[in-house]
A and B are shown apart, each in its own frame.
Chain A
Amino acid sequence: DVKVTQSSRYLVKRTGEKVFLECVQDMDHENMFWYRQDPGLGLRLIYFSYDVKMKEKGDIPEGYSVSREKKERFSLILESASTNQTSMYLCASSTTRGYNEQFFGPGTRLTVL
């Protein structure tokens, strides 16, 4: 059974803290993605990676960075968390072949106080 896991379901941090969100997939997928989801705004792409050490900005990269040192792991980093980064964060992975459907993790609900 294919799986995308995220390190936490719920996370509470304080303004200014450095925050790491981890995502791991076990499907040997080339593509990995980080989204944030806010009410009324749908899914917005923050960053994606199509290979190890490769990254591309999505629609809303400001305030975020990413790291992909291994194929199965994609990390989202908030260098200095702010209250407007309170959101649901979803990680996904996909292959570049066939349907390349995205498999999503369960999400991390981050609250920045």
Chain B
Amino acid sequence: LAKTTQPISMDSYEGQEVNITCSHNNIATNDYITWYQQFPSQGPRFIIQGYKTKVTNEVASLFIPADRKSSTLSLPRVSLSDTAVYYCLVHNNAGNMLTFGGGTRLMVKP
């Protein structure tokens, strides 16, 4: 299973774009990358998933370079409510062989 590494914490201000990078050097050919968001006293919830290049949805973008050894979650124009822990997850296509990163605690300041 691919080991994942993320920064422990990041600070930002409202309205800024935030980029969180996850390193997964040993990612396998068939592995996918998924990001989750977790608020205090809640379980994580899905944000975005990708395999290669760029994926965008209504809340975030995910950038994956050609070698797939890292991925970057991009949150456009963050608000105070985006303060949370963000987890990177590498997993097989059945979603049951997986490794969570240690999580990045994002603090958005006014």
Interface residues of A (CB under 8 A from B): 4, 31, 33, 35, 40-45, 48, 50, 56, 59, 90, 92, 94-96, 99-107
Contacts and interface: CB of A to CB of B under 8 A. Distances in A.
Interface of B: 34, 36, 41-46, 49, 87, 91, 93-96, 98-103
Contacts of B44: 43, 90, 102, 104
A41 B102 contact: yes
Given A48-B96, A50-B94, A94-B95, A104 B45 contact: yes
A42 B45 CA distance: 14
Given A31-B96, A43-B103, A90 B43 contact: yes
Contacts of B87: 42-43
Contact of A102 (B41, B95, B101): B95
Given A50-B94, A94-B95, A96-B95, A45 B45 contact: no
A104 B43 contact: yes
Contacts, number: 62
Nearest to A95: B95
Contacts of B41: 106-107
Contact of A106 (B43, B49, B91, B100): B43
A90 B101 CA distance: 16
B100 A99 contact: no
Contact of B100 (A42, A48, A94, A105): A42
Contacts of A96: 94-96
20 contacts: A35-B100, A42-B87, A42-B100, A42-B102, A43-B44, A43-B87, A43-B100, A43-B103, A44-B100, A50-B94, A59-B99, A94-B95, A99-B34, A99-B46, A99-B49, A100-B91, A100-B95, A102-B46, A102-B95, A105-B43
Q: Interface centre among B41, B87, B93, B100, by most A CB within 10 Å?
A: B100
A31 B95 contact: yes
A45 B46 contact: no
Contacts of A103: 46
Contacts of B96: 31, 33, 48, 50, 56, 94, 96
